[in-house]
Amino acid sequence: MIVCIGDVLTPDELSKITTMVEVAEFVDGKTTAGWHASLVKHNTQLPKDAPELDNIRKLISAALQRNRLFQMAVRPKRIHPMLISRYQTGMAYGVHTDDALMNSQQQLMRSDVSFTLFLNSPEEYQGGELVIDSTQGEQPYKLEAGAMIVYPSSTLHWVETVTSGVRLAAVSWVQSLIRDPQEREILFDLDTARQALFKQQGKTREFDLLSKTHANLLRKWVEV
């Protein structure tokens, strides 16, 4: 399941982040890629010890925490510390798949869901689409500033060459409470349907039954 979520960050949060990013020093992005992905990764990112990084991560983490659609679609158990990446003209990230196992603050985690949160406007650069190879073919994504895309970490994906301007994004990986993508989608659909039903008709018997089924499937599939 690929989900695009708009307005994850407010204009105020976006401008705080871009102000911090403008004065920051970026380093070669290869340092945080797996050995095969590093062969095709041509971008820059904020180094681990960048003074701005903590504040940016805190702002984005809080935004993800309050975003109901993100919580419902991803069911995060653990989120890898975000990377802030910058692609200048000529930079790209070729075809790769994300590592299945990652080290997150001295703990191993499994990557189930990857996300890209766009930090600047698509009008500010040419190219730079995130392309995901899905069963529907190769789908390009280039979202508004403050919007994000969540997609299965199991896919092949890449970032097209930026042919002018600068592309700024936050990327990370999530271990989900629901490991199986199909199960995650079933829960997401049921949750969406029962909330819509509640809005239309309030707390009916049908709503209660859907809520019971949702809770019982969650109980069956959750990994805590």
- The interface region with Ni ion, picked from 3-11, 20-28, 95-103, 117-125 by CB under 5 A, is 95-103
Contact between 85 and 30 under an 8 Å Cβ cutoff? The reply is no
Specify the residue, 76 or 187, whose C-beta has the smaller distance to Ni ion.
76
Q: Work out whether 98 is an interface residue with Ni ion (CB under 5 A).
A: yes
CB of 98 to Ni ion, least distance (A): 4
CB of 33 to Ni ion, least distance (A): 8
Q: Is 194 left (phi over 0), alpha (psi -120 to 50) or beta?
A: alpha
Q: Work out whether 112 is an interface residue with Ni ion (CB under 5 A).
A: no
- The interface region with Ni ion, picked from 94-102, 104-112, 116-124, 144-152 by CB under 5 A, is 94-102
Query: What binding mask, one character per residue, do residues 6-45 give for Ni ion by CB under 5 A, x or -?
Result: ----------------------------------------
44-66: burial string, b at 16+ Cβ within 10 Å, e else: bbbeeebebbeebbebbeebbee
Q: Which residue number is nearest to Ni ion in terms of Cβ?
A: 98
- The interface region with Ni ion, picked from 55-63, 93-101, 185-193, 212-220 by CB under 5 A, is 93-101
> CB neighbours of 154 closer than 8 A, spacing ≥ 6?
97, 181
CB of 96 to Ni ion, least distance (A): 6
Specify the residue, 98 or 160, whose C-beta has the smaller distance to Ni ion.
98
Specify the residue, 98 or 191, whose C-beta has the smaller distance to Ni ion.
98
- The interface region with Ni ion, picked from 17-25, 41-49, 97-105, 201-209 by CB under 5 A, is 97-105
Q: How many residues bind Ni ion (CB under 5 A)?
A: 1
Binding site residues, Ni ion, CB under 5 A: 98
